[in-house]
Amino acid sequence: MKKVIATLLAAVLAVTCLTACGNGGSKSSAIKIGGQGPLTGNAAIYGLACQRAAQIAVDEINEKAGKTVFELKYEDDQHDVSVAANAYNALTDWGMQIYLGCVTSGPCLVTAPMAANDNIFFLTPSGSTADIVKAGSNVYQMCFADPNQGSASAEYIKKKELGSKIAVIYQSDIDYSMGIYDTFISKAAELGLDVVSESSFVTDAVDFSVQIAAAKDAGADVLYLPIYYQEASLILAQCKNVDYAPVVFGVDGMDGILTLEGFDTSLAEDVMLLTPFSADASDEKTQNFVKKYNELYNETPNQFAADTYDCVYAIYQAVQEGKLDASMSASEMCDKLVEQFNTMTFDGITGTGMSWSEDGYVTKDPKGMIIKDGVYVGLD
Amino acid sequence: MKFLSNLINGISLGSVYAIIALGYTMVYGIARMLNFAHGDVIMVGAYICFFAIYSFNLNPVIGILMAVVVCTVLGVVIEKLAYKPLRQATSLAVLITAIGVSYFLQNMAQLLWSANPKVFPTIINGSIKLFGGELSISRTTIVIVLVCALIVVGLSIFVNHTKMGKAMRACSEDKEAAQLMGINVNKTISMTFAIGSALAAIAGVLMCCAYPNLQPTTGSMPGIKAFTAAVFGGIGSIPGAFIGGILLGVLEILGSAYISTELKDAIVFLALIIVLLVKPTGILGKKIHEKV
Amino acid sequence: MKNSNNAPRSNFLSNISKTTRSNFITYGIIIVVYVIMQILVNAGAVSNLIRGQLIPICVFATMAVSLNLCVGILGELSLGHAGFMSVGAFTGAVAIACMESAIPSPILRLILGMLIGAVFAAIAGVIIGIPVLKLNGDYLAIVTLAFGEIIRSIFTNVYVGLDSAGLHFSILNRIKAAEDGKMIINGAIGLTGIKPIATFFMAALLLLVTLIIVFNLINSKTGRAVMALRDNQIAAQSIGISIPKFKLMAFVISAAIAGAAGTMFAENYSTMLATKFDFNTSILILVFVVLGGLGNIRGSIIAAAVLTLLPELLRSVKDYRMLAYAIILIVVMIFKNSPSIQAKMALMRSKKTARKKTKKASIGKEA
């Protein structure tokens, strides 16, 4: 029995080693775009949103039947640093020419140096840690780097005079939240805002009574939440339980709260947030994307999806302007794309007139939104 | 007042742990296995109730009943398919199989119900104010604590005073002797899984009432915490699971309120280690006599 | 006694040489597989996916051997083995980062880093082992689980920075290195800015060294004492084997090996998070051990290799990847451990050998 299993396993191993070698040679007329993100596990919601949005964008571009045709492949990295390296390797085995990066920050920090090393163009939709783009000159971000959002939020609160005492609840074990929190605090000090309570939580937390009590006891009238919408929804519900009703101010991670299945949108009434994307925007591009996403997957796209959609279109624009075609190697493409991204401006659904610095950071304006009767309304 | 409020929140969280821990402890007591898939049965129960209320607009009570029925069937089926063939195998083999079942349930849930989190509908509304509004206790908390107490009392009566309960205790003492006394061991174990899973469904619904966030991995962390709670109180003991659960919940909330929210898990687990070093079989655990 | 040896005494000597031979076969397999893979890699005949998996496979095989020492040989279930890996990964990586300018050779740096990782993991092993090994069975398992979670929780909040003023260390309080320096461990963001220096050769060497240590331990007086403890603690105690001493020794060696493997693992990626070494990773390593067979060292290496590759090879089934993994795990566990299936297999095997024996006997008669 043991021997049977052992030989069987050895055989499987040998076969897979050999079969896995055969790929990579075939040349087609389509440019191969690879992407990866958590498609299973507890962060799957983000990866799946990106995968779906990228697919919609690629299908749209291919339907135009122009010269540029894309082929898309998404691999699962389970939001795990070591699986991320495997997913990247699987993509290069497939012959990836342009890389949409990882969806989450941790995996981005692993694959960005790999892509820099292989000289494959890297544009992450949502990996927001500032360190990612430091991996190489071919690494770009579509979302804001975290520090931007923190200082923008502080300026907004100051400018609009939302309140005099601010409480912050952040998530201490994800870099997204920590990055925003850090810059918010330093900017708030600079602007003379009074931060009366700072408390944190960690992944899998469900009870926020301690943090809410701290904010309430400190008499805070503004509650700043640089966190994702799942936890935000729990915090809003628990605030209501203890009759605490401050002005709630969120960041782009808060987007998606209104479309949470089962969420009582009245809890989010008057919540303000800074986000580059709103699914309710009236422009044609956004409406078209939201409609398609809704038809295909029966849900409203969040900002992860929107950023990925923009990534594909930004690459499309650069490919056309730089006159790239599928016969080029990934490295040749990379050099041309870098040239394009450093100079071009791009209009997408997460902002107009976007441009990239040579460091890889994006410049776009966050929009201030307030939730009224369950929909976003522009703050300005 | 702040302390009191934290304490109440702790008891509320602890009651949820306690109900989950009861399921763990019963299965361990009789089948001597660590059923790591228990947390995921909770998740399934919560999903069933969610769809009954949200998608089919059914009465919450019917939703809970449906969740109980589905989880009971699920528990028995899992036991029949995955654990029964391993009845004679080492406990380690069963443990790994249970982990496999846990992965299976999580991934199945993701495929069936998508990874998007759902917000559990509010079943119990409002809160009670004491001391002129300084202390407010939500009705959900009160219901959870009451249900938990009710289940503990009910289970204790069931295990100590009914025929089936006596059969369970006999199986937990010595399976072979129980068989010789004419007890159907297989049936008893199935029954235990059925009860444990029914409790899991109730725990799932109550947990989501208090913390209305539902996704395929919702059950895993509370599962591990509840398991810790069961060990805290002495695994295999029903009142032990209750005490362990409450203690763990209170410790977690007080730890994050007065020491550090970042290290709250470390605090809880450190407390567990200390308790086990002082009392190696948990607070109410039976002393094991070594046979020579 | 469970594993009573009824073989006559004359067989005993040949028995020893048999285990030695079996050990050398295992070394041989490792070396041969390493050489073949290295040739294939150099020839460019291996896909990036497989190539990227070579170091993790060696690391997880080492982890599996180390945990097998604890679970299979010592007989104590540990659910927190990834915790030791974590200690090794973080301390080793910090050491390597500090030595960067002092020691130019990456191989020497890696070796020193692994040694330091192993030492710290061993210290953690002593700290956790002394009180905990007094507990029994499932309770020990739970305490190791708790230990793994504590380690994860702590390393998520550790900050270590390196600049011209030296090494800065802090828990919970966020610190920043001066302008001329860098953060090595940055709280939730984990180990950052690692320049990966792990190589397949070093990883294979680590596995080989681990095997030499473990095999020699098993076949030594200490190893037999440890196994005697596993099989019957009271009997072993009655013939004068000191329980705490031998238990702790095996446990600490197991932890130290895990620490070295952790350093190697961290040095394979440019970043490493404390959450990587959570309960799930501990369980994963335990699965390798159980599937490979308790006490069966070669089995755990093969199981580690196959199960590390399996999720990657299942990429073609897309969304059903992890579901397929779960089903395979359950089916294999049932198939391998169900007594009724085992009995059937044994019956088939005994028939086969019986046939062979009669054949041999008839040949002997003819001669």
Q: Residue A321: how many CB atoms within 10 A of its CB?
A: 13
- Inter-chain residue contact C323 with B90, CB threshold 8 Å: no
Per-residue pLDDT band at A20 (split at 50, 70, 90): very low
Cα–Cα–Cα angle for C221, C224, C225, rounded to 5 degrees: 85
At A331, list the tokens.
């490295």
Residue pLDDT, tens place only, A190-200: 998 999 999 98
Asked if residue C110 lies in contact with residue C197, where contact means CB atoms within 8 angstroms, the answer is: yes
Q: Residue B3: how many CB atoms within 10 A of its CB?
A: 10
pLDDT at position A8 over 70: no
Residue C319 pLDDT: 76
Report the chain A residue with the minimal C-alpha distance to residue B212.
A234
3-state secondary structure of B196: helix
Residue pLDDT, tens place only, A112-142: 999 999 999 999 998 888 888 888 999 999 9
Residue ranges per structural domain of chain A: 27-144+285-363, 147-275
Distance in angstroms (rounded) separating the CA atoms of residues C259 and C145: 17
Q: Which residues contact B125 (CB under 8 A, 6 or more apart)?
A: B139
Ordered per-residue pLDDT tens for chain B, 292 residues? 778 888 988 998 999 999 999 988 888 888 888 888 999 999 999 999 999 998 888 898 999 999 999 999 999 999 999 998 888 888 888 888 999 999 999 999 988 988 888 888 888 877 777 777 677 788 888 999 999 999 999 999 998 899 988 898 888 888 888 888 888 988 999 999 999 999 999 999 999 988 888 989 888 888 888 988 988 888 888 899 999 999 999 999 999 888 888 888 888 899 888 888 888 888 887 765 554 4
Segments of chain B assigned E as strands:
118-119, 127-130, 135-138, 213-214
Beta bridge partners, A224, equal: A168, A249
- Inter-chain residue contact C341 with B227, CB threshold 8 Å: no
Residue A99 pLDDT: 95
Average pLDDT over every residue of A312-323: 93
Per-residue pLDDT band at A2 (split at 50, 70, 90): low
Residue pLDDT, tens place only, A205-242: 888 988 998 999 899 999 999 998 888 999 998 888 88
3-state secondary structure of A108: helix
Residue C27 pLDDT: 92
Residue C83 pLDDT: 95
Chains touching chain C, criterion 3+ CB pairs below 8 Å: A, B
Please give the tally of structural domains in chain B.
1
Ordered per-residue pLDDT tens for chain C, 367 residues? 344 444 444 455 555 677 888 888 999 999 999 999 999 999 988 899 999 999 999 999 999 999 999 999 988 888 899 999 999 999 999 999 998 888 889 999 999 999 999 999 999 999 988 888 888 777 888 889 899 999 998 998 888 888 877 788 888 777 776 667 788 888 878 888 788 999 999 999 999 999 999 999 998 888 888 888 888 888 888 888 888 888 899 999 999 999 999 999 999 998 898 888 988 899 999 999 988 988 899 999 999 999 999 888 888 877 787 888 899 889 988 888 877 777 887 788 777 777 766 666 665 555 4
Residue type (1 letter), C26: T
Average pLDDT over every residue of A167-193: 89
- A313 to chain B nearest CA, in Å? 25
Nearest CB neighbour to B89, from listed C145, C279, C337? C337
3-state secondary structure of A347: strand
Chains touching chain A, criterion 3+ CB pairs below 8 Å: B, C
Query: CATH top-level class for A147-275?
Result: alpha beta
| Chain-centroid distance, C-alpha C221 | 23
What kind and span of H or E run contains A223?
strand A222-225
Residue ranges per structural domain of chain C: 19-366
Asked if residue A280 lies in contact with residue A32, where contact means CB atoms within 8 angstroms, the answer is: no
Distance in angstroms (rounded) separating the CA atoms of residues A131 and A129: 5
- B122 CB within 8 Å of a chain A CB: yes
Report the chain C residue with the minimal C-alpha distance to residue B34.
C138
CATH superfamily of A27-144+285-363: Response regulator (3.40.50.2300)
Supply the CATH classification number for the domain C19-366: 1.10.3470
DSSP class of C272? B
Nearest Cα to Cα of residue A127 among A159, A104, A156, A150: A104
Nearest Cα to Cα of residue A182 among A215, A157, A146: A146
Helices (runs of H) and strands (runs of E) counted in chain A: 11, 15
- C8 to chain A nearest CA, in Å? 26
Report the chain C residue with the minimal C-alpha distance to residue B229.
C142
Average pLDDT over every residue of A257-276: 85
Residue A338 pLDDT: 94
Q: What is the ipTM metric for this complex?
A: 0.87
Strands A139-141 and A121-124: what pairing?
Answer: parallel
At B28, list the tokens.
């361990």
Tell me whether residue B288 is in a domain: no
> Residue C190 region, left (φ>0) first, then alpha (ψ -120 to 50), else beta?
left
Model pTM score:
0.87
- A164 CB within 8 Å of a chain C CB: no
What kind and span of H or E run contains A188?
helix A175-191
Nearest Cα to Cα of residue A104 among A212, A234, A253: A253
pLDDT at position A14 over 90: no
Residue for token pair 């009074």 = A194
Nearest CB neighbour to C49, from listed A39, A41, A89? A89
Nearest CB neighbour to C143, from listed B273, B281, B290? B273
CA contacts within 13 A on the Cβ side of A165: 12
Residue C12 pLDDT: 52
- Inter-chain residue contact A42 with B216, CB threshold 8 Å: yes
pLDDT at position A3 over 60: no
CATH number of the domain bearing residue B64: 1.10.3470
Nearest Cα to Cα of residue B2 among A239, A221, A210, A208: A210
SS (H, E, C) A34-61: EEEECCCCCCHHHHHHHHHHHHHHHHHH
Q: Residue B82: how many CB atoms within 10 A of its CB?
A: 20
Nearest CB neighbour to A199, from listed B9, B221, B261? B261
**Inter-chain contacts counted by CB atoms under 8 A, chains B and C:** 128
Per-residue pLDDT band at A15 (split at 50, 70, 90): low
Distance in angstroms (rounded) separating the CA atoms of residues C52 and A138: 22
Residue type (1 letter), A308: T
Nearest CB neighbour to B253, from listed A210, A217, A242? A210
Ramachandran angles phi, psi of A224, nearest 5°: -95, 125
Distance in angstroms (rounded) separating the CA atoms of residues C164 and A288: 55
Distance in angstroms (rounded) separating the CA atoms of residues B271 and B278: 11
Residue C238 pLDDT: 86
> Mean pLDDT over all residues of chain A?
86
Residues from chain B that touch C142, judged by Cβ atoms under 8 A, are: 227-228, 231, 272, 276
Residue pLDDT, tens place only, A294-312: 999 888 888 899 999 999 9
Q: Residue C1: how many CB atoms within 10 A of its CB?
A: 8
- Inter-chain residue contact C134 with B277, CB threshold 8 Å: yes
Residues from chain B that touch C71, judged by Cβ atoms under 8 A, are: 92
Cα–Cα–Cα angle for C337, C338, C339, rounded to 5 degrees: 105
Tell me whether residue B285 is in a domain: no
Q: How far is CA A118 from CA A324, A339, C157, in A?
A: 19, 17, 33
Asked if residue C337 lies in contact with residue C290, where contact means CB atoms within 8 angstroms, the answer is: no
Q: Which residues contact B98 (CB under 8 A, 6 or more apart)?
A: B33, B34, B35, B36, B37, B82, B83
- Please give the residue range of the domain that contains residue B206: 2-115+138-278
Residues from chain C that touch B82, judged by Cβ atoms under 8 A, are: 330, 334
At C20, list the tokens.
């030695």
At A63, list the tokens.
């339907």
Tell me whether residue B36 is in a domain: yes
At A371, list the tokens.
């939730």
At C242, list the tokens.
């000191």
Ramachandran angles phi, psi of A347, nearest 5°: -105, 120
